[in-house]
Amino acid sequence: MKLYHHMAGMCLLAIATLTSCGNSGSSTENCMIFGEVPGVYADYLAQKDKISESAQNSESDFKKASSKIDELKEQTCAKIEEAAKKFDNQPIEIEQSEDFKIVKPVSLSFKDFANSVNAVFNVNGEVEAAKDVVIEVSEEWLKSHNVEYLYLPLLMVGCDEQGAEVTKDRIGCFSKCFKIVDGKVVLPSGTKAELQTVAYNNKSYDDYRKVKTVKLSLDTSKM
Summarised one tens digit per residue, pLDDT across range 13-54 is 333 333 333 333 444 579 999 999 999 999 999 999 999 888
Taking alpha carbons only, the member of 213, 171, 214, 215 closest to residue 193 is 171
Q: Average of pLDDT values for 60-66?
A: 86
Among residues 154, 173, 156, the alpha carbon closest in space to that of 211 is found at 156
Q: Tell me which DSSP letter residue 220 carries.
A: -
Burial letters for 128-155: b for 16+ Cβ neighbours within 10 Å, e otherwise?
bbbeebebebeeeeeeeeebeebebbbb
Helix (H) or strand (E) holding 59: helix 59-87
Q: What percent of the chain has pLDDT over 90?
A: 77
pLDDT for 79-96, tens place per residue? Answer: 999 999 999 999 999 999
Domain borders along the chain are 2-87, 100-218
How far apart (Å, rounded) are the C-alpha atoms in residues 37 and 41? 6
The predicted model scores a pTM of 0.83
Q: How far apart, in whole angstroms, are the C-alpha atoms of residue 60 and residue 49?
A: 18
CB 107 within 8 A of CB 126: no
State the pLDDT at residue 21.
34
Model pLDDT, residue 179: 96
Mode of pairing for the β-strands spanning 197-200 and 151-159: unpaired
